[in-house]
């Protein structure tokens, strides 16, 4: 029978509810349990894929092609497991499926209401996500008391009512602020937030208390007493040097004891040896490497979350600190690549959409290619490396992507209108297709060419990586590229996946997004190889 842990947030947002949930999941997974996770987002958007990365951070892509909230990325990175479409849903999705069912006559003319219909739909999705796992950790977005969150809280209450008491647990992540002028930690906000939870019918069994300074034991006891949780179930969560340190900190706080007690398990003993040594490499690394990270949305680093984390994972395994030199592609256009990239050891051009900053990215690629710096181009970074090569080596000055010039005479990056998606279904996209839902999304296979960097990283045979893009490298240019020294080393269903320049120490462009499959314990192979080469090139 699946055990459910519901994680709610109190007082204010940004307390690290996602990292807390993922940390508990990591500890349980390292103890040998089959753990899965679910994020419930209270916003009304049906499709997180069309939300602005500037407002919302990165759009994460699952293996089965769902565009999700970036928290799903944290979950995968912490539990090293592939999640899917069913592991994230929004209020918008819940309402739209209930309304669709009503339109189709599925409710036989009943009056459709929040209770029971919306709440039933939420519960069905929670049960579906938990099916077959030992534990499902459910993170409820937002803060207790939010109007949008009420149907989810009601679902948590009903799930608790429908199941044996020892199969559901409520954990509340809250803030214990330190008031400097009074020199005191304050418990009142937590008490109020727990009262609000109880008003909806949810009793927390554990408090995770975000705090800037250490919680004295009498204060913990006071919190336990006033909020009616066991004395050992008040867990301190101070600021950590790395998010990956949080599971270790929770372990030291004894978080697993009350969890074991609640679920009537004898003991829960995680094996955290490797994890601990990786965290040590992140906090006190032996080496360091400077990576030029060329991108456009540099105002909000959250939009490159998975990529930053993937670099960090590689660094942890190489015992090296990752210093990111943020290079704004528009600044490169104004001031030149040499000045902005400076003495970085390697160059990364990340994915992106739209024409802004593209010429600066091409300049950065030119700089990396001609100065023999290790180069990794991801998605748009791969497409632009083809354009750079065609323009500057092959001599096709007008080589372009139809994304930037719809009528270009040399469409080296073009739009294929028909392709087979992850489930083998035919997809159609045209210039008139809406942006939402017409990207190539999710995992596709590729087979590395013998002797390539790709093969060295992934091994021979078939591997899979995830995609999120509209345009493709045009195979009509494959021959002229290869004749001139840029080689296609990976293909997927006849589409160009990877290009390399054999006459360069390490130059790789990948159409896929390798950052989505990296986890702390298992860094992504091509990103690892890139960082390793950067380190060697110091």
Could you give the residue numbers annotated as active site? Answer: 379, 513, 515
Candidate residues 197, 307, 380, 531; the one interacting with ligand GLN per rule CB under 6 A = 380
Residue 470 CB, shortest distance to ligand GLN, in Å, is: 4
What is the full DSSP assignment across 22-51? HHHHHHHHHTT--EEEEEEE-S--S-GGGS
Question: What is the total count of residues that contact ligand GLN (CB under 6 A)?
Answer: 10
DSSP 8-state secondary structure symbol assigned to residue 452: S
Nearer to ligand GLN, 263 or 353 (CB): 353
Nearer to ligand GLN, 77 or 513 (CB): 513
Which residues make beta-bridge pairs with 327? 294
Give yes or no for a contact between 98 and 116, defined as CB atoms under 8 angstroms apart. Answer: no
Q: How many angstroms separate the CA atoms of 181 and 420, rounded?
A: 63
Nearer to ligand GLN, 264 or 405 (CB): 405
Nearer to ligand GLN, 222 or 470 (CB): 470
What token pair was written down for 351? 């994915």
Residue 354 CB, shortest distance to ligand GLN, in Å, is: 7
- How big is the chain by its Cα radius of gyration, in Å? 25
- How far, CA to CA in Å, does 134 sit from each of 26, 32, 137, 155, 266? 13, 10, 10, 20, 15
C-beta neighbour count of 199 within 10 angstroms: 11
Residue 4 CB, shortest distance to ligand GLN, in Å, is: 35
Number of H helices, E strands in the chain: 19, 25
For tokens 């918008």, the residue is 92
Residue 468 makes contact with ligand GLN by CB under 6 A? yes
**Closest Cα to residue 168, out of 263, 65, 240?**
263
Interface stretch with ligand GLN, choices 120-128, 317-325, 351-359, 499-507 (CB under 6 A) = 351-359
Nearer to ligand GLN, 19 or 508 (CB): 508
Residue 507 CB, shortest distance to ligand GLN, in Å, is: 18
Instruction: Cite the beta strand spans of 217-258 per DSSP E.
Output: 234-237
User: Which residue's CB comes closest to ligand GLN?
Assistant: 351
In the range 275-304, which residues lie near ligand GLN by CB under 6 A?
Answer: none
Candidate residues 206, 379, 457, 488; the one interacting with ligand GLN per rule CB under 6 A = 379
Interface stretch with ligand GLN, choices 237-245, 301-309, 346-354, 443-451 (CB under 6 A) = 346-354
Candidate residues 18, 351, 357, 377; the one interacting with ligand GLN per rule CB under 6 A = 351
Nearer to ligand GLN, 348 or 379 (CB): 379
Residue 470 makes contact with ligand GLN by CB under 6 A? yes
Q: How many angstroms separate the CA atoms of 395 and 197, rounded?
A: 66
> What phi and psi values does residue 185 have, to the nearest 5 degrees?
-90, 140
**Closest Cα to residue 314, out of 37, 134, 455, 524?**
524
Give yes or no for a contact between 340 and 327, defined as CB atoms under 8 angstroms apart. Answer: yes
For tokens 């939009």, the residue is 303
What is the full DSSP assignment across 375-408? EEEETHHHHHHHHHHIIIII--TT-EETTT-TT-
Nearer to ligand GLN, 219 or 488 (CB): 488
Residue 243 CB, shortest distance to ligand GLN, in Å, is: 24
Interface stretch with ligand GLN, choices 40-48, 313-321, 462-470, 518-526 (CB under 6 A) = 462-470
* Chain mean position to CA 289: 23
Residue 471 makes contact with ligand GLN by CB under 6 A? yes
Nearer to ligand GLN, 117 or 468 (CB): 468
Give yes or no for a contact between 332 and 363, defined as CB atoms under 8 angstroms apart. Answer: yes
- How far, CA to CA in Å, does 41 sit from each of 46, 69, 72, 74, 152? 10, 8, 11, 15, 10
Nearer to ligand GLN, 175 or 307 (CB): 307
Interface stretch with ligand GLN, choices 85-93, 349-357, 495-503, 527-535 (CB under 6 A) = 349-357
Q: How many angstroms separate the CA atoms of 234 and 220, rounded?
A: 6
Interface stretch with ligand GLN, choices 99-107, 277-285, 419-427, 464-472 (CB under 6 A) = 464-472
Interface stretch with ligand GLN, choices 112-120, 249-257, 324-332, 469-477 (CB under 6 A) = 469-477
For tokens 């992140």, the residue is 282
Residue 380 CB, shortest distance to ligand GLN, in Å, is: 3
Which residues make beta-bridge pairs with 509? 377, 499
In the range 61-120, which residues lie near ligand GLN by CB under 6 A?
Answer: none
Candidate residues 33, 127, 353, 404; the one interacting with ligand GLN per rule CB under 6 A = 353
Candidate residues 275, 469, 514, 523; the one interacting with ligand GLN per rule CB under 6 A = 469
Residue 352 makes contact with ligand GLN by CB under 6 A? yes
Residue 403 makes contact with ligand GLN by CB under 6 A? yes
Binding site for ligand GLN (CB under 6 A): 351-353, 379-380, 403, 468-471
């Amino acid at each position: 029978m699946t055990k459910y842990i519901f994680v709610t947030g109190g007082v204010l947002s940004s307390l690290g509810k996602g990292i807390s949930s993922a940390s508990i999941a990591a500890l349980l997974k390292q103890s040998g349990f089959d753990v899965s996770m679910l994020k419930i987002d209270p916003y009304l958007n049906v499709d997180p894929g069309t939300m602005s990365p500037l407002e919302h951070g990165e759009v994460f892509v699952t293996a089965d092609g769902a565009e999700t909230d970036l928290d799903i990325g944290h979950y995968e990175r912490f539990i090293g497991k592939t999640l899917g479409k069913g592991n994230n849903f929004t209020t918008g999705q819940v309402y739209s499926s209930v309304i669709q069912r009503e339109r189709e006559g599925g409710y036989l003319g009943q009056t459709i209401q929040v209770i029971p219909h919306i709440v039933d739909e939420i519960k069905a999705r929670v049960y579906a996500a938990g099916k077959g796992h030992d534990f499902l950790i459910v993170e409820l977005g937002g803060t207790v008391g939010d109007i949008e969150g009420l149907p989810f809280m009601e679902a948590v209450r009903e799930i608790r009512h429908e199941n044996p008491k020892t199969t559901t647990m409520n954990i509340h992540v809250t803030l214990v602020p330190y008031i400097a002028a009074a020199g005191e930690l304050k418990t009142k906000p937590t008490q109020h937030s727990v009262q609000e939870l109880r008003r909806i019918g949810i009793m927390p069994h554990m408090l995770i208390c975000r705090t800037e300074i250490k919680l004295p034991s009498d204060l913990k006891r006071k919190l336990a007493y006033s909020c009616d949780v066991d004395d050992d179930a008040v867990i301190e969560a101070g600021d950590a040097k790395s998010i990956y340190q949080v599971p270790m900190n929770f372990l030291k706080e004894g978080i697993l004891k009350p969890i074991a007690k609640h679920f009537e398990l004898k003991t829960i003993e995680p094996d955290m040896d490797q994890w601990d040594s990786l965290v040590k490499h992140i906090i006190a690394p032996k080496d360091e490497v400077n990576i030029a990270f060329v991108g456009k949305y540099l105002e909000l680093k959250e939009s490159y979350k998975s990529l930053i984390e993937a670099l960090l994972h590689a660094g942890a395994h190489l015992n090296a600190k990752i210093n990111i030199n943020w290079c704004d592609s528009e600044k490169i256009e104004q001031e030149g690549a040499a000045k902005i990239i400076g003495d970085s050891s390697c160059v990364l051009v990340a994915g992106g959409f739209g024409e802004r900053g593209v010429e600066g990215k091409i300049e950065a690629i030119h700089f990396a290619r001609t100065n023999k710096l290790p180069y990794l181009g991801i998605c748009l970074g791969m497409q632009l490396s083809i354009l750079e090569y065609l323009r500057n080596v092959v001599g096709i000055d007008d080589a372009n992507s139809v994304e930037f010039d719809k009528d270009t005479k040399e469409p080296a990056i073009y739009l294929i209108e028909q392709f087979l998606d992850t489930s083998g279904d035919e997809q159609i996209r045209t210039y008139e297709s809406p942006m939402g839902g017409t990207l190539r999304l999710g995992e596709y296979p590729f087979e590395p060419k013998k002797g390539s960097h790709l093969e060295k990283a992934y091994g021979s045979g078939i591997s899979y990586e995830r995609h999120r893009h509209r345009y493709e490298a045009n195979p009509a240019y494959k021959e002229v590229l290869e004749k001139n020294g840029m080689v296609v080393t990976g293909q997927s269903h006849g589409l160009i996946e990877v290009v390399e320049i054999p006459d360069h120490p390490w130059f790789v462009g990948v159409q896929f997004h390798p950052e989505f499959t990296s986890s702390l314990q298992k860094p992504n192979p091509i990103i690892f190889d890139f960082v390793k080469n950067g380190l060697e090139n110091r």
